[in-house]
A and B are shown apart, each in its own frame.
Chain A
């Protein structure tokens, strides 16, 4: 097994003392794509928020490349290379597309290579080059998602955590976005991907975790998942 980039070890966390995640452990190996699936509201986003430092842990430990993340500020965790691309459209609405992308390269290491990052993002999402002077709030839903992902790529991080990249988008746009994710995988990026539905990510991921009511209930390869899909769906009472 390759060396782990991220190790989440038995974390428990929640809001106002009510745990949303219970005893969750997972590991993302270097250069691999790991998917987390599960019904909405079962802690997938909370897990990413814990890793990026937005939510404190009640117990457990998160280690990224031999660094313990507990107690670090959000921006410090980002500086280590953990890039959280949040759910929905958390782009900067009143800034141009270009300024949004430049904000992605805010950190000094990324800013030193800003042109290079910008070209790479424009190659992946040509539409962001076409619309570079447009105000972000005037973009379509799909374009916003591309901007959000592109902005995250500008950071030049070592681990990309992408929360529901296909949520609420038309099938054709989802295809475009997954084509980019495949491209990133070919480049050897380490990715932690969260989706409600597993079908889309089966061809992409190396490893799947199932999250149900804040607990990881199953873990395996996409092939194993397909074999047992019906059993898992019955167990969870949801389409995966």
Chain B
């Protein structure tokens, strides 16, 4: 029982983390056709924004989250204006942007090392303590992470499903030309999506560094890789599926780590991803990717 709860809680903690990260990735891929190799540094930027606001500006710790949101907003804005807006019309955009975001990741990582050093820091945005259920310690921070992940994914789902902006985002993703002919300013839609992705990444960076990882320029690399596998398994561009796959994979990873060895968690995920993609090349819930004109 205790073991089960242990796996359940660590699975939930990891799953919430993966879900946030995967949702950001899948949003960008699904809408902009952008495989964002900078996702990892975008997570770290959120973590450092929170850290700076609390440590250097002396703000109370809960304000780390709004600080990260501002950081994510600026990151999205910069990514759009420096890269995406000049590139998205080109036919090879989907390949070009991968290379561009790899480059951006290297630049930003070096910048962060320069400013904050590579030395791992503690994320001051955190709520110590917790309570015990069935002999297991459940930290308050885990509850915060779960709530934030839940609110963000549900909120994003609602926005995409039921709002005018959300419809315009989906329309742009599915048929850019047709959306434009209906008066949708697609450049602005891309900007809005970049900003949303920046904010989501920044928030998940704070949650990540507050619970399972130290704050460093590389803190987001591992979660980014896992988010890629999750998106591939779920089918890129599908938000509910990304959340579901995140939780399932986190539980599998948790069980393997608990019952076999911590070092087999990640390889198992990889193996699973390969098997799923051989069996269903577009992911478990994926459809053929929309062809772009």
Contact = CB atoms under 8 A, between A and B. Distances in A.
Given A54-B180, A75-B184, A102-B164, 4 more contacts: A78-B183, A95-B170, A95-B171, A103-B171
B81 interface: no
Instruction: Specify the main secondary structure of chain B where it touches its partner.
Output: helix
Interface string A90-104: 111111000100111
Interface in A121-153: 151
Nearest to A102: B167
Interface of A: 52, 54, 73-75, 78-79, 83-84, 86, 90-95, 99, 102-104, 106-107, 111, 151, 155
Contact of A74 (B168, B171, B174, B180): B180
Contacts of A54: 177, 180-181
Contacts of B177: 54, 86, 90
A106 B168 contact: yes
A94 B182 CA distance: 17
A78 B164 CA distance: 17
Contacts of B287: 94
Contacts of B171: 92, 95, 103, 106
A78 B167 contact: no
Interface in B119-171: 164, 167-168, 170-171
A91 B174 CA distance: 9
A155 B167 contact: no
Interface residues of B, number: 19
Contact of B174 (A79, A94, A107, A151): A94
14 contacts: A75-B184, A84-B181, A86-B178, A90-B175, A91-B178, A93-B290, A94-B174, A95-B171, A95-B174, A99-B167, A102-B167, A103-B179, A106-B171, A151-B182
A51 B178 CA distance: 15
A56 to B, nearest CB: 13
A92 B174 CA distance: 6
Given A102-B167, A111-B164, A92 B178 contact: yes
Nearest to A108: B183
Given A106-B167, A106-B168, A92 B180 contact: no
Contact of B183 (A75, A86, A93, A102): A75
Contacts of B186: 75
A170 to B, nearest CB: 24
Interface in B182-210: 182-186
A78 B180 contact: yes
Given A90-B175, A95-B170, A95-B171, A104 B182 contact: yes
A106 B178 contact: no
A75 B185 contact: yes
B181 A74 contact: yes
Contact of B185 (A73, A86, A92, A155): A73
Nearest to B170: A95
A155 B180 CA distance: 12
Nearest to B187: A73
B184 to A, nearest CB: 6
Nearest to A84: B181
**B177, B183, B186, most chain A CB atoms within 10 A:** B183
